[in-house]
Chains A and B, each alone.
Chain A
């Protein structure tokens, strides 16, 4: 029998507000444990949560960017469980009346657009961190993350493969980064994802028993875990077994999921100490006005406005900073495709090598375009330009200064080039002979020798022309 995979994701995203959700303690990463704690986030007697206005605004912004309906009236509840990283014995969350519902994120599924529904998006507080020292019979508790604001985004079970889940997460991340509510770094824990996965016979309309998978450290891990679970569950079903509702843990090293715990019933009760969040139209409109052009729309525009291929447009708009950098460049340079080639190949690879971000770039879009213009004018060759670019990246100096300093100006002097060409011909009679005998490839070798001699500074068009003239005589 063929099975269809049904995937839903629960994503937690840390909001990048300055302070925690219910107190004024800083959300910055602390150098030492328990340095961002106060009576409120420690859950001490008689303290009352104080709602952070920015959290409401960031969360609403996210809800709107994810095409959700925003509740005019939402409320907080207590999700009760005992765990040492959770002060108070309950997590303040939104259960009965969440902030946002019924949104979606678009992905590409086999070349077609597909909407992945968002069932609920709500605000809640993060828990602290447990440190397990090896060999010790104790665990240590650090509560600096306790009370950091989160949004939880619960998708509909709309994804059908690991690939779709991977796309959904990427698009979700891009959107949230675009609206600047979170840095969404899954490796650092500011974005976290749990998987709900089940299988059903193809053609069936009923859902099978779902399994929850936790401890996913990267988008790739999400994809792999889904693919692993697909296989595991299929094998159970095919051998006549049945799936048990449970929570499993992804083991990245072994590439498998492991049983963690059985089904648990969460206990909720209303939070009597927090007033409801009232999101009236004027406030919502104000927040909505602050939402910039989102990646989907920007990509479409780049295709139309700059004539970029869809591939280029997706890569450039996958990052807000990159797309902004791109648009600045296009203001200063006439050929948008040349710019996208350079950014996609040279820039992204050097960023990848160095692990830096675009926001750390030392040069400006204008300087970058000046360099492209120098190629067009023949001041430098395209090959030299790559070196200049790396130097700009490293030092932030202007391309003119680099070319000047390093003497990288292209040799475009006809007479000088001719004398070099002649010298090369004399030194390589065999190649000259080959060329004359019809081995046109030999020209490449001769040009290469000139480049070697001039350290790449010879104007390639001119040297080609000179050789043609000299050899074809």
Chain B
């Protein structure tokens, strides 16, 4: 029997177009799966079942499935604003916040008749890499319920067939790291490729929105739908958007891949290191050239990222004051106390810590030395990448140095698990994570980093890898077992 919840976008689209299935059937199948499984995985913060069902039957009635995403349900990370649908950022502060507007990416998906199935969990205001700082609950990794799913539960939702695909956000690696931990595909586009209007971000100069999907083809389909310049995001770029799906047909030739040695050091698990070297071999077998290279300044990336993210977050978090929206304390002595209590009660520990650190860095005399230093080191990291890309078309690294860690075992704030992903955010480059092996029975992610606005190239390389390996199929095999 055809299990609708297991479909990819392109397969579902094919069946919908041929009228072999209906959007309502598909939506119902997913809702049923969620009902059975989400109690264990806890991927969703809010479900949008009724509206999704209503929309699906409307779409069925119209019967127009020309758009690739038409009638197909999507899970959306809960820091992406959805009109009339609660958007919490996994924070008590926004527990009851219902945006009167859609993020641009949501508007675009709705125009293509996509259905929003629900909102998925994250670390509070996306600060963390495990969902453990969520005000609501910690989500679980479907491969092993004792492990974290990464900073976004939407990857877990996609891996566990609780969604066909998801829209997620990536400030320090959430899209890629969660995809890697859960054995699915996640793409962080170039800064400016996808509008971030409506993404309740915390570090404006690094926030991006990207898809998490079951395979590379789906990733190209979603990227087609959400890319492009947006008047509501001045940082969005007018660089031409190619047809990413079409570009997958291109045959790659003379590809040169660099392997930065800094990402294969002692901090990296041995099995993961081997998986990356194996991936390089696969590429060589395909005729690509793979060479070791170096990005000497990425060793500072975690620190630089934490400083910049905290500084930007501390002023970004000022808008949450409980006046126009958000949590307001019941008991207070005066106006200032109202602010302090509302924010003290509304924010969790990690958010407070970063807000305080950011305030310390920005507002205490003399401390701007840290921030200026961080911005300068960011330039050096950016230049490292620029130099590498003079020689190579792509860089490959592990997405994470270890597989998904155990719940409760998160390291200190400067999370070493983000070491391979944050440099990419600092430099504003595009990168994808695709499955490339297993360790401890958990999936390993291969990160492919490209030049700015070369999402097409990354997708082509990832697609070639996917067709020459069967890791993504192992996901399916595992599900069946």
Contacts and interface: CB of A to CB of B under 8 A. Distances in A.
In the complex, which of the residues B232, B315, B335, B363 has the most CB atoms of chain A within 10 Å of its own CB atom? B315
A39 B100 contact: yes
Given A44-B101, A45-B200, A46-B201, A90 B234 contact: no
A198 B55 CA distance: 68
Given A267-B363, A274-B234, A48 B205 contact: no
B196 interface: yes
Interface in B316-333: 317-321, 323-325
A294 B318 CA distance: 43
Contacts of A361: none
Given A84-B335, A269-B362, A269-B363, A43 B234 contact: no
A119 interface: no
Interface in B220-276: 231-235
A143 B94 CA distance: 21
A49 B203 CA distance: 15
Contacts of B325: 44
B275 to A, nearest CB: 36
Nearest to A266: B363
A397 interface: no
B318 A46 contact: no
B221 to A, nearest CB: 24
A18 to B, nearest CB: 17
B12 interface: no
Contacts of B339: 82
B453 interface: no
Contacts of B234: 48-51, 273-275
B137 interface: no
Most buried by B among A42, A49, A50, A273: A273
Interface in A32-63: 39, 42-51
Contact of B232 (A50, A84, A87, A90): A50
A89 interface: yes
A129 interface: no
A43 B315 contact: no
Interface in B173-211: 196-201, 203-205
B132 interface: no
Given A48-B196, A82-B318, A267-B363, A272 B100 contact: no
A78 interface: yes
Interface residues of A, number: 27
B355 to A, nearest CB: 11
A269 B336 contact: no
Interface in B279-325: 311-312, 314-315, 317-321, 323-325
A272 B204 contact: yes
Contacts of A42: 324
B197 A141 contact: no
Nearest to A49: B234
Interface string B8-24: 00000000000000000
A53 to B, nearest CB: 12
User: Which of B80, B101, B320, B335 has the largest number of chain A CB atoms within 10 A?
Assistant: B101
Contacts of A267: 362-363
Contact of B321 (A45, A48, A82, A274): A82
B103 interface: yes
Interface in A257-275: 267, 269, 272-275
Interface in B94-109: 94, 97, 99-101, 103
Interface in A56-83: 78, 80, 82
Contact of A46 (B200, B311, B363): B200
A45 B89 contact: yes
Contact of A269 (B94, B232, B235, B315): B315
A266 to B, nearest CB: 10
A45 B346 CA distance: 15
A82 B196 CA distance: 26
Contacts of B97: 45
Nearest to A47: B197
A273 B199 CA distance: 13
B319 A46 contact: no
B92 to A, nearest CB: 14
Taking chain A's interface residues, is the majority helix, strand, or loop, or is none over half, making it mixed? loop
Interface string A379-416: 00000000000000000000000000000000000000
A109 to B, nearest CB: 39
A422 interface: no
A265 to B, nearest CB: 9
Contacts of B99: 39, 44-46
A275 B235 CA distance: 8
Contact of A45 (B204, B311, B319): B319
Nearest to A267: B363
A141 B203 CA distance: 29
B81 interface: yes
A82 B324 CA distance: 13
Nearest to B93: A45
A88 interface: yes
B400 interface: no
Contacts of A273: 204, 234-235
Contacts of B320: 89
Given A82-B336, A269-B315, A273-B234, A46 B321 contact: no
A43 B204 contact: no
B231 to A, nearest CB: 7
Nearest to A89: B318
B103 A88 contact: no
A50 B317 CA distance: 19
A301 B311 CA distance: 55
Nearest to B80: A46
Nearest to A81: B318
Interface in A76-110: 78, 80, 82, 84, 87-90
A78 B315 contact: yes
B87 interface: yes
B324 A87 contact: yes
Contacts of A272: 203-205, 312
Contact of B198 (A47, A89, A90): A47
Interface in B349-366: 362-363
B441 to A, nearest CB: 38
A274 B205 CA distance: 10
A28 B94 CA distance: 32
23 contacts: A39-B99, A39-B100, A44-B100, A44-B324, A44-B325, A45-B79, A45-B81, A45-B94, A45-B99, A48-B233, A48-B235, A80-B363, A87-B323, A88-B319, A89-B319, A89-B320, A89-B321, A90-B315, A267-B362, A272-B203, A273-B204, A273-B234, A274-B234
A-B CB proximity, top 4 nearest: A89-B318, A45-B200, A272-B204, A46-B198
Given A44-B100, A47-B198, 19 more contacts: A39-B100, A43-B319, A45-B81, A46-B81, A47-B232, A48-B196, A48-B197, A48-B204, A78-B315, A82-B321, A87-B323, A87-B324, A88-B318, A89-B315, A89-B317, A90-B315, A269-B315, A273-B204, A275-B235
Interface of A: 39, 42-51, 78, 80, 82, 84, 87-90, 141, 143, 267, 269, 272-275
Interface of B: 79-81, 87, 89, 94, 97, 99-101, 103, 196-201, 203-205, 231-235, 311-312, 314-315, 317-321, 323-325, 335-336, 339, 362-363
